[in-house]
């Protein structure tokens, strides 16, 4: 496969930014809102936004089960921020009744930096991406508080708190490469899509 066909779940959040990065990297990109649209892609991005809203809309649009099935079938999925929350098997500080798609064997805390620190930027050394460090922007960001054995930790803050993970075909970051012109996570995701196809 030369041109990967990937979708961005387009129920809420920073869909446009992901579409732009993936298009710049040469992928064929579609916005995915319905099960038929999901069936036509080889990989899916879950954008940043508000995880509880995306959760509710995914159920209203009949997307929850199809996305869960795609994850179970091994479709590569990349989640940023709210998208990472949606990939987590377990969350803390979710709203009442909040669900996730799951798949990543992690516990993620929503809004882990509290209301005092709504957003911040930092350079992260990420061995999987090589040089230079990645400039990461965190916006009401979640943290990976616990991770199972199969989970590879790709990046951590200076104090050791984990902010990027990979488990098989699933990739998640607490931060938003798509808003900073940082293309390497999306390039890694597209490699995962090509490998699997
Ligand atoms: N705090 C948001 C949530 O709980 C995530 C924020 C973001 O995606 N920038 O979903």
pLDDT by residue (tens digit) across 96-154? 999 999 999 999 999 999 866 789 999 999 999 999 999 999 999 999 999 999 999 99
Please list the residues that pair with 167 across neighbouring strands.
Answer: 170
User: Pocket of ligand 1, candidates 110, 115, 172, 180: which has the most ligand atoms within 8 Å of its Cβ, to mutate?
Assistant: 110
Residues labelled catalytic: 81, 176, 178
Question: pLDDT at residue 172 above 80?
Answer: yes
CA separation for the pair 120, 184 (Å, rounded): 20
| H-helix or E-strand spanning residue 31 | strand 28-32
User: What pLDDT shows up at residue 197?
Assistant: 83
Nearest-5° angle of CA 165, CA 171, CA 174?
A: 60
Give me the mean pLDDT over the 158-166 stretch: 97
Nearest atom (ligand 1) to Cα of 176? 9
Give me the mean pLDDT over the 141-170 stretch: 98
CA separation for the pair 185, 4 (Å, rounded): 15
User: What pLDDT shows up at residue 1?
Assistant: 58
Q: How confident is the model at residue 2 (pLDDT cuts 50, 70, 90)?
A: confident
pLDDT per residue as tens digits for the range 181-196:
899 999 999 999 999 9
Q: How far is the CA of 80 from the centre of ligand 1 (A)?
A: 9
CA separation for the pair 197, 182 (Å, rounded): 25
Q: How far is the CA of 48 from the centre of ligand 1 (A)?
A: 6
pLDDT per residue as tens digits for the range 36-85:
999 999 999 999 999 999 999 999 999 999 999 999 999 999 999 999 99
CATH of 5-196, one of 3.40.50.1980, 3.30.70.100, 2.40.30.130, 3.40.50.880: 3.40.50.880
CA separation for the pair 96, 56 (Å, rounded): 12
């Amino acid at each position: 496969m030369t041109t990967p066909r990937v979708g961005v779940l387009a129920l809420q959040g920073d869909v446009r930014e992901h579409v732009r990065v993936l298009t710049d990297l040469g992928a064929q990109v579609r916005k995915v809102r319905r099960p038929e649209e999901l069936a036509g892609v080889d990989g899916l991005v879950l954008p940043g936004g508000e995880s509880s809203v995306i959760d509710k809309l995914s159920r209203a649009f009949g997307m929850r089960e199809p996305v869960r099935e795609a994850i179970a079938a091994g479709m590569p999925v990349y989640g940023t921020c709210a998208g990472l929350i949606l990939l987590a098997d377990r969350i803390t500080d979710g709203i009442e009744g909040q669900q996730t798609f799951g798949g990543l064997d992690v516990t993620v805390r929503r809004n882990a930096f509290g209301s005092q620190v709504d957003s911040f930027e930092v350079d992260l050394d990420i061995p999987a991406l090589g040089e230079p460090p990645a400039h990461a922007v965190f916006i009401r960001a979640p943290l990976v508080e616990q991770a199972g054995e199969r989970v590879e930790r790709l990046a951590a803050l200076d104090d050791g708190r984990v902010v990027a993970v990979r488990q098989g075909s699933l990739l998640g970051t607490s931060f938003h490469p798509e808003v900073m012109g940082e293309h390497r996570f999306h390039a890694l995701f597209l490699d995962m899509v090509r490998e699997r196809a």
